[in-house]
A and B are shown apart, each in its own frame.
Chain A
Amino acid sequence: VFSRPRFLAFVAALLLVGDIARAHADDAANTVGLRLFEEKIHPILAGTCFRCHGDQKTAGGLRVNSRAALMAGGDSGAAIVPGRPDESLLLQAIRRADDVSAMPPDKELRADQVADMAAWIAAGAPWPEQPVHFESSKHWAFEPVREPAVPAVRNSAWPRNEIDRFLLAKIEANGRAPLPQADRRTLIRRLAYDLTGLPPTPAEVQAFELDNRPDAYERLVDRLLASQAHGEKWGRHWLDVVRYADTAGENSDHPLPHAWRYRNWVINAFTRDLPYDRFIREQLAGDVLALEGDDADYADRVIATGYLAIARRFGHDIEKDVHLTLEDTLDTLGKSVLGLSIGCCRCHDHKYDPLTTRDYYGLYGIFASTKFAYPGCEPKQLPRDLVPLVSPREYERLVQATAEKIPEARAEVNRLTELHNAQSMRIKASQAASARTLSTQEIDDGQSADVAQGAQTPLENVAVRRGEVIQLSITPRGNHGADSTRIEFEITELAGEKRRWNVSDLLDDLPAANPHRGPAGDGATWCFLDAHDAPLLLSESLTAIDGHSELRGWRRGDTPSVFVNTSHEPVKVWTTLPPRQFFMHPGPQGAVALAWLSPVDGEIAIRGRVADAHQGGDGVGWQITHFADAGLAEAFIEFGATSRQLSAAQQRRDALVERDRQVPRAYAVCEGEPQNAHIQKRGEPKDLGDEVPRKFPDFLGGQQVTQGSGRRELAGWLTDPANPLTARVMVNRLWQWHFGRGLVKTANDFGTRGAPPSDPALLDYLASHFVKSGWSVRAIDRLIVTSAAYQQASVGAADDFNVGFARRRLTAEELRDTLLTATTELDRTPGEAHPFPPESSWSFTQHGPFAAEYDTVKRSVYMMQKRNRRARFFALFDGADPNASTPLRDVTTVPTQALFFLNDPFVHERAAKFSARVIAAADTDAARVDFAYRELFGRSPQGDERDDALAFLRSYAPSATDNAAPVSEGAAAGGAAWTALSRVLFSSNELLYVD
C-alpha cells in the first residue's frame, strides 16, 4: 500500500520540482550542461518564456518550469527531446520553423540564445536540483506529521493537559497570562451548545453548579459527548463540509427521497464515535467494504457512500454534464478530507499547490468508474440506480432471483403476451368468417325474456359439427358497465345419447378452470370470455366476491365477469342475488360471453332465459351466435393454455418486481465499469487529451489503482497515517468546532494559499495523538474541552496569543432548536424521510422546479434543505451553503435578523406558547420572572432585573386581544404582556450569544 519512505520520496520529488534522477553529478556532459542551464538557459526561460508558460500561466498547455514539464510538453506535444535538438519542438519554435508557432511570438531570440538552447538540449537537457526561480519552497502541510515534544512552562498549576502546555508556552513567551476560569453556569451552557447544540435544562445547570466532585466537569463532558444530541451537532458540522442537501441541484432541483439515510448515518457515526479513518473509508468505498464485512454492517456502509452520491447535478439532462458533477465530487473530496482545492485542476495545473491536471484526471477516472445513484431530471423524471441495502447473497435470498432474472421474467411475459394476442386475433378472424346469429334482443331494466323471443332461426333444431362454437353474449345497453344478468341456458343433443348441458351444472365448481370442462365425462367445454373485441379469457378466478364465499366466478379487471351464487339462500350484495343461479356481467367496453365448444355432430336445441338481475340500470341485450368453424374449439383450448401460462408468468414477474421493490435502498454509489479518464483539455469534455491511469496525486505518492474503480484503494491512501493532511485537517476542524476558529484559519485550504497554523506544534501534537488514539474523534474532543484553555472566561475576539473560547452567536439551527425547546415543542426523535410527493407524480421542470417546504418540530438538522431555493430562515442566519463545502459559517449581523425577532410569526407563536408555560408555572409574576430566566438563561434574575421585568409587565399597554384576566393580586399581568416580555427575552443578546 503506502509506505512512508516512498511517500517521503515523492514529497521530496515534488519540493524540488525537478528531476532528481537526472542529476548525475559524475557525468561530465551533465556538468557542462548544468552550467549552460544556470548561465544561459535559465535566464531565457525565466525572462522570456515564464510569463506565459510558468507557474501561473500555461499557454498551449505548456510549462517550462521543470524538465519533466518540458518533456511532457503541451497541446502540440513534447517541447524537448533530450539529446535531439532538431526533434525538439521548442527549438523549432524559437528557430521560427514553418508549421510551428513561432516563439516568443512578439520578438525573436538572438542567434546565440538559440544556439545555447540547442547545445543544452544536445547535452541531454540537464536540470539542476534547485533552480532558483522555479523552486516552490517547502510547505508545512505537506511535510510528514511528527509528534513534537511538549514544551516546558513556568506556571505548572494552570495546565490541565498537553494542549495547555503548548498554549501556555506561547502565552508566557509573550509575557501574558491565561484568563481566569469561567463560572460553572457559563461552562455548562458553553459545553451544552458546543457539544449538543441545545441549551442545558435548568435542572442540569443547578445539578452541575452543586456538584462538588472533583471530576464533575469531566463527568458532564462525558455525558454530553455520549448523547445523540452530540451526534446531531457534530453531524451538522460535517454536513456543512460535504454540502449536504435533500435536492439534486440540477435545473429542476429534483428531491432526493433517500438522502436522509446518509444524513442520519453521519449523525450516528459521531454519536458512536466511529473511528475517523473508517468514517472516511466508508464514505469513499463503503459499498466495496460492505462485501467484505458483516452483513449486519452492510446497509450502513452502503449508506455511507451517500457522501459521493449527494454530489451536485447540473443542467437539464444531467448525464450531459457528468464532468461537472465529478468536478463537484473531487472538489468536495479535496476540501473535506485533504484541505486542498482540487477543482482548479480540471482546466489547468494548480497555480499554487502541487496538483496537476494529470492528478485531477487520475482521481476523475476513479469516480468515472463509479455508478452514482441517479436522482432524475427534467427529461428523465424517475430516480434509478439506487443501491440495495442488503448483500448480494441476502438479495438473492429475499428476491429469490438476481436482478438479472427480472428481465428474464419480463421477457417471458412479453413472449407469452405476443402469443396470446396472436391466438386471440386468429380466433376473432375465424369467428368473423363463420358467424351466424341465432337469437338477439334487448330487455329493459329489471325485465327478463326467453331467448326464443329473439330467435332469428328456430332454436329447437340447430345443426352443429364437433369443434364448432355456440356463444351467448350479454351486451351492455347504454349505461356504463351495465348490469348483473341472470342466465338460464341449456343445450340438448337431439339425437344419439341426448346429452344435455346446462350452466347450472357449473354452479359448484365454476372457478376451477377456464376453459371449463363441466361435470366429468359430458364432453363439452365452456369458455368465459371478455368479448368486447377479439375474445379474451376471463383470467382471474374468484372464490369469493365482495367477501362472500358463496359467490364465485371469473373476471377480467372489475368486469366483465361470470359468477354464480352457490348458496341456497339469496345473497345481498350490490343487489340481492337469488339462490343457486348463474350470472353474467358485461364490462364497460362491451360484452361478456359464454362459449360452448361443441362435442356434437348433429342437431341441438337451445333453450334459455336472460334476466336483468339488478334493477336501476338501462337493461341489457343478448346475442346467441353459431360459429360454424370446426377448428375453433381446438383454438380455444390452445388459447386457454396460453392464457394460463401468461397469468403464471405475470405473477412470477410481479412477485419478483415486488420483492425487489421491497428491498430497502439508499442514495449511494456502487462500482461501475472501470475506466481511465482522458485529460479534458482546458476542462472541455469534448477536447480529449492523454489517458491518465487512475491514481492518487503524485505529490501524495502517486500510487495507481489496481482493482475496480479504485475507491477502496483511494480510501486507504487517504487514511494512511503517513498522509500528512488527513489527520491535520480533521483535528483542525475539531479545534474550530470548539473554539470557533481553527489553528489553521482556512479549514478547507491547507495549501500554500491557506493560512499557516497559529501553533504548528500543537496542530501536529493533536494530529499524531488523533492517529494514536485509533482516530477517535471523541478522544480529541475530550482533550480539547477538558483543557484549561477551553474553560477560560470567554473573549469577544481572540487572537493567537489569547487562545480561548470566543463568544459566539447561536447558529441558525441552534436558535430554532432553542426556541422550540423553550416551548417544549421540540421533538427529539431523529427525523427520517421527508414527505416528498410520490415519484410516480414527479414532473419537475426548470419552469416548475421542486419547491416544496415542509414544517417540522424535529431538530433543525432534520429539516429539508433545497439547493436551488434556500429556506429563508437559513439564508437569513448564515446557514450552510448547500451547493459548496462550508468550512466555517459566516456570522453576519443585519437588521433583517432583528426584524425576524420583532415580527416573524415563528417568534410570535413561540413567545405566546412560552408565556403560557410561564404563567402556568407559578402564581406570582415575580416567581414567573424567575422561572422564565431559569428556563432561557439557566440563572435567576439578578440585581434589578426582576424589578425591571415586573415594571415592564405592569406598564405594558394591554392590547385589545388580551383577554386573560388577572388571576391574583401577585399575577396581575395578562397574557399579552407576558408574550411581549417573552419576545424581549428571546431577542436578548444573552439568549443569542454563548459565553
Chain B
Amino acid sequence: MSDTFGPKHSNGSRPCGCSRRDLLRSFVGGSLLMPGLLHELLAEDATRSTPADPLAPRPSHFPAKAKHVIFLFMTGGVSHIDTFDPKPRLHADVGHEVKLDHPEIENRPGYEHIFLKRPQWDFQPHGQSGTEVSTLFPHIAECVDDIALVRSMHTDHSNHYNATLGMHTGSFAFARPSIGSWVSYGLGTENRNLPSFVVIAPAQTYAGSQVYASDFLPGAHQGTLVVPGDEPVANVAPRVPLGQQEQELSALARMNRRHRQARGEDAALAARIKSFETAFGMQAAVPDAFDLSQETADTHALYGLEPGSTKGYAWQCLVARRLIERGVRFVELIDTGSSGNWDSHGDMMDHARLALNVDRPIAGLLKDLKARGLLEETLVVWTTEFGRTPFNNSADAKGREHHNWAFSSWLAGAGVKPGIVHGATDEYGVRVAENPVHVHDFHATILHLMGLDHERLTYRHSGRDYRLTDVHGRVVRELLA
C-alpha cells in the first residue's frame, strides 16, 4: 500500500521526492495545529484507516492486476457500423428494404418502410491483430493491439435516459448505485486527499447526477463531479490566505479537542476532526492533480492538448492519468452533455466533430499509460449507451436512429486480453450474431478485472442484497488475459 501522495512511477521513485509525511509537515508547519493532530494524522498513516471509515482500502475478492478504472463514456449513442464494426454488405445491399420489429420504428409515422443505409466511413485493418477500425478513429486505430474489442454488446432500452442509466448502474428505470460507487465500495481508496470516484464532465449526461450517485451505498462512494474550468472541484480553492486558514484550523482543532475530551471516545467526532485535516490537504492535492503545467510539451502533444487549455477530452484524459497516478480508484470521463452529442439523427457527419474531440486524447492516454507502466494496473473502458441503426426510413437519410440491439465497446489494460475481437453482429450489424455481451455481462467483467465477484459484491438495502448486476451477469472469460 502506498504512502505517497505524489505520482507513482513505474520505477517507484517519486518525482517530488517527498512523502506524505513531509508534505503534511510543510502544509501545517509551525501552526498551533501541530501538537495534537499531526500526531493523530501520522498515526493514521501507520494504520491507514479506522474501522468505521467507508473509504478505507479493502481487499479484493481475489487477486487482480487492475487497481484503477478509467471509464470513457461517449454520450448519445456512437454508431458501431461507422466506427468499430465494419459491414461491407451494407455497401452491397444499400437501399434494400428490411422488416424489423424494432423499438425505434414501432408505431412511428414515416417509418412504415425501412431501408439499409451504407456506412459513411471506410474501415482498414490495423496493427498486428489486424482489427478493423474506421477512419473516424485514426489514432485509436493505432492502439488496437492493446484493445479487446467487443462487437456484440446489447442493452435493454433504446431511450438515452434509460440506456445511460443502465450502462452506469445496471438498472434501466430505477435509480441505483453507479458502477464507480460499487468499485469504491468494494475496494475503498488509497489516497484520502482525493475522492475515490471522480467524474469529469463538461455537462451533465442523460439522467443527470443519477449516473454517478451512490444511491443506497454510503454517500462517501458518490462520484465527485469535476467540471473542466478554473475551479474544477467545488470548494477546493481556499478563500483566505493559507496562513490565516492554518490559524483558523488551529483554533478549530483546540475547540474540537476540548469538546471531545469532555465526551470520551466517539469515532464520529474523531473522524470529523480528521476530515478537516484531510480537507486542508485536498486544497493542495486536488489543484496539484489538476495542474498540467507539470506536464511536458511532448505529453501535451501526445494528447493533442494546447498548453494552458482546460478544454475538450484531451484535458479530461490527461487529468485522468494524473488522478489514477495519485490513487483515485475510478475515473469516469463523459465527453459531452445531454445535447450536442453523438445522437446524430440529423446528420451522421456530426460524428466526425465528436470523434475529433476524443480520438487523439484517448490514443494519447493509452500510449501514455503504457509508456509509464500504468496500463498494467489500470483498466480502460470505452463505451456508449447504445449503437445506431444500420437502416433508416430512406437509404439516403442523413442520420441514424437509436439501436440497442447491437453496439461496440472495448476494454484495454490490466488483465485484459490485448488485440482481440470478441463477438460479432449479423451481416448488417442489426443483431448480435455471436457471443452476445449484455450490459450486465460487461459490468460483471469489469468487476472481475478489479478482483471483485459481481455475485459477492452486495449491499443489504430494504431487506434485500443488491448487486450491480441485479440477478444477471456473466463474466466474459474470453476477454481476460
Binding site for B on A (CB under 8 A): 251, 253, 314-316, 321, 324, 328, 335, 341, 344, 352-353, 746, 748-749, 751, 753-754, 796-797, 807, 809, 846-849, 851, 868-870, 872, 875-876, 878, 881, 883-884, 890-905, 908, 943, 945, 948-949, 952, 955-957, 959, 980-981, 983-985, 987-990, 992-993, 995
Which residues of B are found within 8 Å of A751, using beta-carbon distances? 463
In the complex, identify which listed stretch (B119-127, B242-250, B387-395, B473-481) lies at the interface while the others stay far away.
Answer: B242-250
What residues on A are CB-neighbors of B239 within 8 Å?
Answer: 902-903, 905, 908
Q: Of the candidates B175, B209, B265, which one forms a contact with A875 in the assembled complex, judged by CB atoms under 8 Å apart?
A: B209
Chain B residues with Cβ below 8 Å from A995 are: 263
Residues of B within 8 A of A955 (CB): 247
Which residues of chain B are near A335, meaning CB under 8 Å? 462
A869 to B225 alpha-carbon distance, docked (Å): 12
Selecting from B267-275, B318-326, B404-412, B420-428, the interface stretch reads B267-275
Smallest beta-carbon distance A135→chain B, Å: 20
Complex: A353 Cα to B235 Cα, angstroms: 46
Q: Which residue of A lies closest to B272 (CB)?
A: A893
Which of A314, A851, A898 is within 8 Å of B276, CB to CB? A898
Do B247 and A870 touch across chains, with their CB atoms under 8 A apart? no
Most chain B CB within 10 A, of A751, A872, A895, is at: A895
Given A341-B463, A847-B338, A884-B175, is A987 in contact with B252 using a C-beta cutoff of 8 Å? Answer: yes
Q: Which 10 pairs, one residue from A and one from B, show the smallest C-beta to C-beta distance?
A: A796-B266, A898-B279, A753-B463, A895-B278, A749-B463, A251-B161, A847-B339, A868-B208, A903-B235, A869-B208
Is B219 interfacial (CB-CB < 8 Å)? yes
From B255, B259, B271, A984 is in contact (CB under 8 Å) with B255
Question: Which B residues are CB-close (under 8 A) to A899?
Answer: 234-236, 279, 282-283
- Can you list 27 A-B contacts (CB < 8 A)? A251-B160, A314-B173, A328-B174, A341-B463, A796-B264, A807-B269, A846-B160, A847-B160, A847-B343, A868-B207, A878-B219, A884-B174, A892-B219, A894-B55, A894-B219, A895-B276, A899-B235, A902-B238, A902-B276, A903-B235, A903-B237, A943-B258, A952-B247, A957-B244, A980-B247, A989-B255, A992-B272
Quick check: B276 and A987 within 8 Å, CB to CB?
A: yes
Say whether A903 contacts B216, CB under 8 Å: no
Known A335-B462, A807-B263, A993-B269; judge A895-B219 contact (CB<8 A). Answer: no
CA distance in complex: A324, B175 (Å): 12
Q: Does B346 contact A (CB under 8 A)?
A: no
Chain B hits for A314, CB < 8 A = 173
- Which residues of the other chain, B, contact A884 by a CB distance below 8 angstroms? 174-175, 215-216
Is residue B77 contacting chain A, with contact meaning CB distance below 8 A? no
Using CB atoms, name the residue of chain B closest to A339: B463
- If A749-B463, A807-B269 are given as contacts, then 12 extra A-B residue pairs at C-beta distance below 8 Å, sorted by A number, are A251-B162, A321-B173, A748-B463, A754-B463, A846-B206, A847-B338, A868-B207, A881-B175, A883-B174, A902-B280, A988-B259, A989-B260
Question: What residues on B are CB-neighbors of A315 within 8 Å?
Answer: 159, 161-162, 173
- Docked-complex contact A959 and B235, CB < 8 angstroms: no
Q: Point out the residues of chain B lying under 8 angstroms from A849, CB to CB.
A: 208, 338
Q: CB within 8 Å of A: which residues of B?
A: 54-55, 159-162, 173-175, 192-193, 195, 204, 206-210, 213, 215-216, 218-220, 222, 224, 234-241, 243-245, 247-248, 251-252, 254-256, 258-260, 263-269, 271-273, 275-276, 278-280, 282-283, 338-339, 343, 462-464
Are B273's CB and A989's CB within 8 A?
yes
Contact check, B462 vs A807: say whether CB atoms are below 8 A apart. no
Q: Which one of A847, A875, A883, A895 contacts B222 once the chains associate, using CB atoms below 8 Å? A: A875
Is B248 a contact of A984 with CB atoms below 8 Å?
A: yes
Contact across chains for A890 and B219 when beta carbons are under 8 A apart: yes
CA distance A851 to B343 in the complex (A): 21
Q: Which residues of B contact A989 (CB under 8 A)?
A: 255-256, 259-260, 269, 272-273
Closest CB of chain B to A58's CB: distance in Å?
12
Query: Do A316 and B159 form a contact, CB below 8 Å, given A341-B463, A868-B209?
Result: yes
Contact of B254 among A754, A902, A948 (CB under 8 A): A948
* Residue among B161, B216, B248, B258 facing the most chain A CB atoms (10 A cut-off): B161
A988 closest partner in B (C-beta):
B255
Closest to A980 in B: B248
Query: Is the Cβ of A868 less than 8 Å from the Cβ of B276?
Result: no
Contacts of A896 in B (CB 8 A): 195, 224, 235, 279, 282
Q: Is the CB of A746 within 8 A of B219?
A: no
> How far is A959 from B247 in the complex, measured between Cα atoms in Å?
13
Whether B268 lies near A893 (C-beta < 8 A) is yes
- B339 contacts across to A, CB distance below 8 A: 847-848
Pairwise interchain contact A981-B251, C-beta atoms closer than 8 A: yes
Are A957 and B243 within 8 A (Cβ)?
yes
Q: Are A984 and B251 in contact (CB under 8 A)?
A: yes
Of all chain A residues, which has the CB nearest B250? A952
Whole-angstrom CA separation of A27 from B396 in the bound complex = 79
Query: Could you say which of B174, B209, B219, B338 has the most chain A C-beta atoms within 10 Å of its C-beta?
Result: B219
A846 and B259 in contact (CB under 8 A), knowing A872-B234, A987-B276?
Answer: no
Chain B residue numbers with a CB within 8 Å of A893 are: 268, 271-272, 275
Scoring B193, B248, B267 by chain A CB atoms within 10 A of each residue's CB, the highest score goes to B248
Residue contact B159 to A251, C-beta cutoff 8 Å: yes
Distance in Å: Cβ of A684 to nearest Cβ of chain B: 12
B263→A251 contact, CB < 8 A: no
Bound: A893/B306 CA distance, A: 38
B120 CB, min distance to chain A CBs, angstroms: 23
- The distance from the CB of B297 to the nearest CB of chain A, in whole angstroms, is 33
Nearest-neighbor residue (CB-CB) of B255 within chain A: A988
**Contact (A945, B268) CB under 8 Å given A895-B275, A981-B251:** no
Q: A315-B173, A848-B338, A898-B276 are in contact. Are A957 and B255 (CB under 8 A)?
A: no
- Distance in Å: Cβ of B40 to nearest Cβ of chain A: 15
Report A-chain residues with C-beta under 8 Å of the C-beta of B244: 956-957, 959, 980
Is A948's CB under 8 angstroms from B463's CB?
A: no
**Do B54 and A892 touch (CB < 8 A)?**
yes
Residues of A within 8 A of B463 (CB): 341, 352-353, 746, 748-749, 751, 753-754
Q: Which residues of the other chain, A, contact B343 by a CB distance below 8 angstroms?
A: 847
Closest to A884 in B: B175
When distances are taken between beta carbons in the complex, the residues of chain B under 8 Å from A943 are: 258
Please state if A881 and B236 are interface contacts (CB–CB under 8 Å).
no
Instruction: Report B382 CB to chain A, min CB distance, Å.
Output: 23
Which of chain B's residues have a CB closer than 8 A to the CB of A984?
248, 251-252, 255
A846-B159 contact, Cβ under 8 Å, with A748-B462, A796-B263 = yes
**Separation in Å of the A911 CB from the closest CB of chain B?**
10
CA distance A892 to B52 in the complex (A): 10
* Complex CA distance for A523 and B462, rounded to whole angstroms: 87
Query: Is the Cβ of A990 less than 8 Å from the Cβ of B175?
Result: no
In the assembled complex, the CB of A959 is this many whole angstroms from the nearest CB of chain B, namely: 7
Q: How far is the CB of A191 from chain B (nearest CB, A)?
A: 19
- Return the contact of B175 from the options A353, A753, A883 (Cβ within 8 A): A883
* A753 CA / B272 CA spacing, docked (Å): 33
The answer to whether A796 and B195 have CB atoms under 8 Å apart is no
Within the complex, the shortest CB–CB distance from A811 to chain B, in Å, comes to 13
Q: A904 contacts B235, CB within 8 Å?
A: yes
Task: Identify which of B54, B240, B275 contacts A959 (C-beta below 8 A).
Answer: B240
| Contacting residues, chain A, for B245 (C-beta < 8 A) | 902
Contacts of B195 in A (CB 8 A): 896
Most B CB atoms within 10 A — which of A341, A754, A870, A898? Answer: A898
Q: Which residues of B contact A890 (CB under 8 A)?
A: 218-219
Closest to B52 in A: A893
- The chain A residue with its CB closest to the CB of B254 is A948
Could you tell me if B247 and A892 are in contact, using CB atoms closer than 8 angstroms? Answer: no
- Complex Cα distance, B162 from A321, in Å, reads 12
B174, A807: Cβ atoms under 8 Å? Answer: no
**Contact between A895 and B192 (Cβ–Cβ < 8 Å)?**
yes
Cα distance A382–B247 when bound, in Å?
55
Cα(A90)–Cα(B461), bound, Å: 37
Write out the residue numbers on chain B whose beta carbons fall within 8 Å of the beta carbon of A949.
251
Task: Give Cα A754–Cα B276 distance, bound, in whole angstroms.
Answer: 36
Query: CA–CA, A352 to B463, complex, Å?
Result: 9
